[in-house]
Chains A and B, each alone.
Chain A
Amino acid sequence: MASVTLQNLTKTYAGGQLRAVNDVSLEIEDGEFLVLVGPSGCGKSTALRMIAGLEEITDGAVWIGDEFVNDTHPKDRDIAMVFQSYALYPHMSVYDNIAFPLQIAKMPKEEVDKRVQEAARVLELEAYLKRRPGQLSGGQRQRVAMGRAIVRKPSVFLMDEPLSNLDAKLRVQMRAEIASIQHRLGVTTVYVTHDQVEAMTMGHRVALLKDGVLQQVDTPSNIYNKPRNTFVAAFIGSPTMNMYWAELENESDTLFLRLGDNRLKLPATLVQQFSSLSQYAGRKLIVGIRPEDLAEASSIANADPSDCIAAEVDLVEALGSDVIVHIGIDAKPAEVRSSDSLDEIKSKAGKARCIARFNAKSQVRLGDTVNVWFDTTRMHFFDGETGLSILN
């Protein structure tokens, strides 16, 4: 096992005009499962390929353990990689696919056989060893690709969106399997995905990239609950966080949040906890609230009217476990530059769309006017100019 250190890692194309990875520094601990996540084209795969040695490093450094590997050939980095397409050799049997790296390393036949059988047992592939990849299902192919990686007993696993070719149900199953194998083997793993659910459920830590720049590296819980900026806040979470331009108003030492024509009272505890918030009194800022932090006022005991906004229901999506309700509120949506979110989504009559996750028992119907309760203690505040969180 080994740690992986990225220091000011940079990759440019077109003579430096296009920066795919921009000054990324990251320390991945020995045995850690780190998920690199971000929208398409953010540079996560490029960063992974630089760790693998498949992409030349323009600037910066990569260490695997204590070894500086910038100019080390991929085969000498003691890594194993699982590709998005699995990259199984179609003309070889499952056995030969798994055995390939060992045969290349000129390992004795008995040892190769022992390791292949062991990997096949762990991955439940024993019955398929004689088959060709074309005769396997997507999930089985994925397991063969895993087998080829684990059979080498490398110091680092590198996985480039290994589940993206699977159907939704199989993805959930394989997600758990990969996490379990990594936990069992304790091999340092860098896992690239654009799927935030994979990022949140699999990794010890999540590193979020945007336009090649590292936005935040933290535990899944902190990434979700304490986003460092508007991009992280908008990218993580489904449905995405509701974000609006707002103004803080100070009225006899009580802070109010003005959202268009609406006004919400901020709890004193929040203001005390985050003193920086009061500095924004009289200024514009971006406020964010997750759909699950909104509720039907009628379902909350003693809901304070100053925490509620009445709004018309535009759309109801009953998911069974809960109900996703789209409402229109009078506010200006904050433009979040993320390729995965639509900017300036307007609701009916020019109102801003707000998405709430209501209890499954909710009876709201399309066209109803519903009194929505905002859990103001769970709100996120971001600087209007920099987009950085005010609360962190």
Chain B
Amino acid sequence: MATVKTYDPELLRAERRKRENIRRLKGLGLHALLITTLGVMLYPVIWMVLSALRPETEIFGDMGFIPTNWTLENFVRGWQLYGNLTFTQFYVNSFIICALAIIGNLLACSMAAYAFARLEFRGKWWLFAIMLGTMMLPIHVQLIPQYIFFLNIGWVNTILPLVVPKFLAHDAFFIFLMVQFMRSLPHELEQAAIVDGASYWQRYWRIILPLSMPALATTAVFTFINTYNDFFSQLIYLTDTDRMTVPVALRLFLDPSGGSSSFGGLFAMVLVSIGPVLGFFLASQRLLTKGIATQGFK
């Protein structure tokens, strides 16, 4: 005989309400924690933004968080650094180096990656291991011998030390990234191209490279961000003021000898300098995510 099953709907509703309240409370606590952490992290940025928008004299003089006088004067003075030297020149310099670095990395790293991923040659695995090993060398170890080398061949104070290595597959990380991506591409595609008569170059250029677009996009984005933000190399290789790039030029606002520093101009230009990185990142965000995600799942 079937048993009659009963339940108390009121009790059920009360239980549900209790669970809902606990969930809400937990959510509130978590959000409060996150907002506090966010505030701590964002405070210096917000302070910088507000400082850029107040008169130079008030930056350290006025202790209030919100400026009493709002002004864009710091941006105008900051951009026109001194004499004929403006930030336009620094941005042009930065963008030229970034563009050449991106082109160099895309071409050279993808070619090296294709060789490691798809070609068979003697010593391939040793070379690959050595290449991976170079990723572990800190930049400071390489810096002095590299500087001496570039000094001897007369490349210091030119953009060549910053750009030429990129055309020689200098960034092991990007080679590794692309090797992993290219290995995941079906071998049959390339075999079909072999039967169709395609040479090594045609297979690389017409089949592998277009299919590696997500990895190329990732490389392009990271190369841009790395090069644009590369203060150290640009500082030691570019000495003439008119050849300086944005991160190096920002240093000109400060007088390390204790003279007068222009903090208003510095904050304004730092704020502007974030723009290209942010813009480039947002524009390529979709490709970037795809490129990184594909590494694991393909």
A, B bound: yes
CA distance A80 to B192 in the complex (A): 9
> Whole-angstrom distance from the CB of A95 to the nearest CB of chain B?
15
Interface residues of B in 194-227 (CB under 8 A from A): 194-198, 202, 206-207, 210-211, 213
CA distance A84 to B186 in the complex (A): 12
The verdict on B8 contacting chain A, using a C-beta distance below 8 Å, is no
Task: Give the 9 A-B residue pairs with the shortest CB-CB distance, closest first.
Answer: A75-B197, A87-B192, A101-B196, A87-B188, A91-B210, A104-B197, A83-B188, A81-B195, A74-B195
Interface size on A, residues (CB 8 A): 21
Interface residues of A in 25-77 (CB under 8 A from B): 52-54, 74-75
> Whole-angstrom distance from the CB of B80 to the nearest CB of chain A?
47
Whether A85 and B211, one on each chain, are in contact in the complex, defined by CB atoms closer than 8 angstroms, is no
> Whole-angstrom distance from the CB of A71 to the nearest CB of chain B?
15
Whether B192 and A83, one on each chain, are in contact in the complex, defined by CB atoms closer than 8 angstroms, is yes
Minimum CB distance partner of B192 in chain A: A87
The verdict on B189 contacting chain A, using a C-beta distance below 8 Å, is yes
Instruction: List 19 interface pairs A-B (beta carbons < 8 Å), by A numbering.
Output: A74-B194, A75-B194, A75-B196, A79-B195, A81-B191, A81-B192, A83-B188, A83-B192, A85-B186, A89-B193, A89-B206, A89-B207, A90-B211, A100-B193, A104-B196, A104-B198, A104-B202, A148-B196, A152-B196
- Which residues in A have their C-beta under 8 angstroms from that of B195? 52-54, 74-75, 79-81
- Which residues in B have their C-beta under 8 angstroms from that of A74? 194-195
- A residues lining the B interface (CB < 8 Å): 52-54, 74-75, 79-81, 83-85, 87, 89-91, 100-101, 104-105, 148, 152
- Which residues in A have their C-beta under 8 angstroms from that of B210? 91
> Whole-angstrom distance from the CB of B194 to the nearest CB of chain A?
5
CA distance A154 to B196 in the complex (A): 11
- Which residues in B have their C-beta under 8 angstroms from that of A90? 211
Whether B197 and A105, one on each chain, are in contact in the complex, defined by CB atoms closer than 8 angstroms, is yes
Whether A87 and B202, one on each chain, are in contact in the complex, defined by CB atoms closer than 8 angstroms, is no
CA distance A105 to B193 in the complex (A): 12
- Which residues in B have their C-beta under 8 angstroms from that of A89? 189, 192-193, 206-207, 211
- Which residues in A have their C-beta under 8 angstroms from that of B196? 75, 100-101, 104, 148, 152
- Which residues in B have their C-beta under 8 angstroms from that of A104? 193, 196-198, 202
- Which residues in A have their C-beta under 8 angstroms from that of B213? 91
> Whole-angstrom distance from the CB of B291 to the nearest CB of chain A?
16
- Which residues in B have their C-beta under 8 angstroms from that of A105? 197
CA distance A75 to B198 in the complex (A): 8
